[in-house]
């Protein structure tokens, strides 16, 4: 991976300007590479480990992320990709800077950065848990090793490094998981028998579709999470970086749609692995169930496959993790230097120095995410939290910046503050934040925060634009 990222990517960059080469691969990604890198970015360690975790512990009805992110890619391709690529932006924050100004964009960078950090931490934790379970290496060492490799080739080769390694990583992921499944299914009697046992065990929760019977008092919470995954999966630099690097508008649209289809296909194997973990008789095998839900996939790999196959499975997870870590640290670094440091600190910075700063920032962001990863308990919960913040705080601002010409910085600030108050008023157990607003049980307060933020941006922008209000 280091060789592909550092050596081959350097050759690919050719005569491109430093900044364009690092951030956007010179806007020259061919369609097939763009589709691979878009798919590999979403199908990461959090995707496969988290899907297996919730399939085994909560039922298919709560396995929302695979189809939620697939829909977000399709919607992003149909409504956002063409306009972003046509305007030749360099980052997702460019339209915000254009509409709201430099300082407001710096504030909106915070949820974007937080999302990228949590995303990276979640997938590093997934790999750490896998290494720890399969090979007996401690989690901290596993996280450090994988993070170092991914960050190194990203800093050396930029987006070309990320894109080219993603091609290899996605192939390894699909092949590795395909090899694991037949061995693991032998312990539950095959796919049909596993599905039948799973339905008996989980009942209505074995269906991916929501129902009162399956969800009980969490019905509206399910819809809250569903909407945040679909629309909270759009305002990500990892997504728009590929859209903006595509060769044309048409490629940008189709790579989004096809990547959504690949996301759904990639969820099949980890879903089945989760079903196997939930239905296999662990006692009869002389062992115990996974010690914690987040270890579901690596535990199945370790206990239900031969050692050689287990190593192949470990390679699949490692490939998935690196394909997301590299994208995430590059995206956060690109936004931080291009949209915050450059306009606010050193507007006249040269192209070569800008590229150099982005590469240094890749290491800083990578180290920060690695430190967060040491504290993670549930891969899936942190994975959800990533989209939670960008859904509530960033999505309304992006929509208004792209589609409402009258939106301004006053409206954006008011909307951000209202959305933040309503969102954090519901608390966040993952971060230890207590609730301070009396929301009823099963109330979709995240969607309330997003819709309220969007409405306030529209209303406050119109009021601020009235004569004598500025």
Q: Which of 6-10, 282-286, 330-334 has the lowest average pLDDT?
A: 6-10
- The confidence score (pLDDT) of residue 264 equals 93
Query: What are phi and psi for residue 348, nearest 5 degrees?
Result: -95, 20
pLDDT digits (tens, 9 = 90+) for 302-314: 899 998 888 887 7
For the chain, what percent of residues have pLDDT higher than 70? 93
Identify the pLDDT of residue 52: 94
Average the pLDDT over each of 158-162, 240-244, 422-426 and give the range with the smallest value: 158-162
- Residue 89 phi/psi, 5° resolution? -70, 165
Place of tokens 């987040």: 294
Model pLDDT, residue 213:
94
Q: Give 218-235 pLDDT, tens digit per residue.
A: 999 999 999 999 999 999
In eight-state DSSP terms, residue 440 is P
Q: Is residue 152 scored above 70 in pLDDT? A: yes
For the chain, percent of residues with pLDDT exceeding 90: 55
Average pLDDT of the residues in 384-391: 82
Q: What average pLDDT does this structure show over 363-373?
A: 87
Q: Which of 121-135, 170-184, 321-335 has the lowest mean pLDDT?
A: 121-135
Q: What is the pLDDT of residues 12-55, one digit of tens each?
A: 655 445 778 788 888 888 888 889 889 888 887 778 888 999 99
- 396-421: pLDDT as tens digits: 999 999 999 999 999 999 999 999 99
Domain ranges of the chain: 2-391
Fold (CATH) for 2-391:
Sodium/glucose cotransporter (1.20.1730)
Query: pLDDT at position 119, please?
Result: 79
Distance between CA atoms of 426 and 438, rounded to whole angstroms? Answer: 8
Helix H or strand E encompassing 74: helix 65-79
Helix/strand/coil percent split, the chain, to 5:
80, 0, 20
Partners of 117 in beta bridges: none
- pLDDT for the residue numbered 8: 67
27: left (phi over 0), alpha (psi -120 to 50) or beta: left
Residue 468 has pLDDT above 80, yes or no: no
Between CA 298 and CA 313 the distance in angstroms is: 8
SS3 259: helix
Output the pLDDT for position 283.
Answer: 92
Are the C-beta atoms of 193 and 35 separated by less than 8 Å?
A: no
pLDDT higher than threshold 50 for residue 287: yes
**Tokens describing residue 126:** 């997934």
């Amino acid at each position: 991976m280091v060789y592909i990222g550092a050596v081959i990517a350097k050759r690919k960059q050719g005569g491109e300007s430093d900044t364009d080469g690092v951030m956007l691969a010179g806007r020259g990604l061919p369609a097939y590479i763009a589709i691979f890198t878009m798919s590999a970015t979403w199908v990461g360690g959090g995707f496969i480990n988290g899907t297996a975790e919730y399939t085994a512990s909560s039922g298919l009805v709560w396995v929302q992320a695979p189809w939620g992110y697939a829909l977000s890619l399709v919607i992003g391709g149909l409504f956002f990709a063409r306009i972003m690529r046509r305007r030749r932006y360099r980052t997702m924050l460019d339209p915000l800077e254009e509409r709201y100004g430099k300082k407001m964009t710096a504030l909106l960078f915070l949820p974007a950065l937080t999302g990228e950090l949590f995303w990276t931490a979640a997938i590093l934790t997934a790999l750490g848990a896998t290494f720890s379970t399969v090979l007996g290496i401690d989690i901290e060492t596993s996280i450090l090793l994988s993070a170092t490799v991914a960050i190194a080739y990203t800093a050396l080769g930029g987006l070309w490094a990320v894109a080219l390694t993603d091609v290899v990583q996605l192939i390894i992921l699909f092949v590795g998981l395909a090899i694991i499944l037949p061995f693991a299914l032998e312990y539950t009697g095959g796919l049909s028998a596993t599905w039948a046992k799973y339905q008996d065990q989980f009942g209505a929760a074995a269906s991916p579709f929501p129902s009162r019977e399956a969800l009980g008092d969490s019905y509206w919470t399910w819809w809250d999470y569903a909407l945040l995954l679909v629309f909270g999966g759009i305002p990500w630099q990892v997504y728009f970086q590929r859209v903006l690097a595509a060769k044309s508008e048409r490629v940008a649209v189709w790579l989004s749609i096809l990547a959504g289809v690949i996301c759904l296909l990639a969820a099949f194997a980890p879903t089945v692995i989760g079903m196997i973990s939930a239905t296999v008789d662990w006692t009869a095998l002389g062992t115990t169930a996974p010690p914690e839900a987040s270890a579901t996939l690596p535990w199945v790999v370790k206990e239900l496959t031969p050692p050689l196959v287990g190593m192949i499975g470990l390679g699949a997870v490692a490939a998935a993790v690196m394909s997301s870590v590299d994208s995430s640290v590059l995206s956060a670094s690109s936004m931080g230097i291009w949209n915050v440091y450059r306009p606010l600190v050193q507007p006249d910075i040269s192209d070569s120095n800008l590229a150099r700063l982005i590469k240094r920032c890749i290491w800083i962001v990578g180290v920060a995410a690695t430190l967060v990863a040491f504290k993670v308990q549930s891969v899936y919960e942190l994975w959800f939290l990533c989209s939670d913040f960008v859904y509530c705080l960033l999505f309304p601002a992006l929509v208004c910046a792209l589609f409402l010409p009258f939106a301004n910085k006053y409206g954006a600030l008011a909307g951000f503050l209202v959305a933040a108050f309503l969102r954090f008023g519901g608390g966040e157990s993952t971060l230890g934040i207590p609730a301070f607003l009396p929301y009823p049980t099963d109330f979709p307060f995240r969607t309330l925060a997003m819709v309220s933020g969007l409405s306030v941006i529209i209303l406050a922008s119109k009021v601020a634009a009235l004569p004598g209000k500025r």
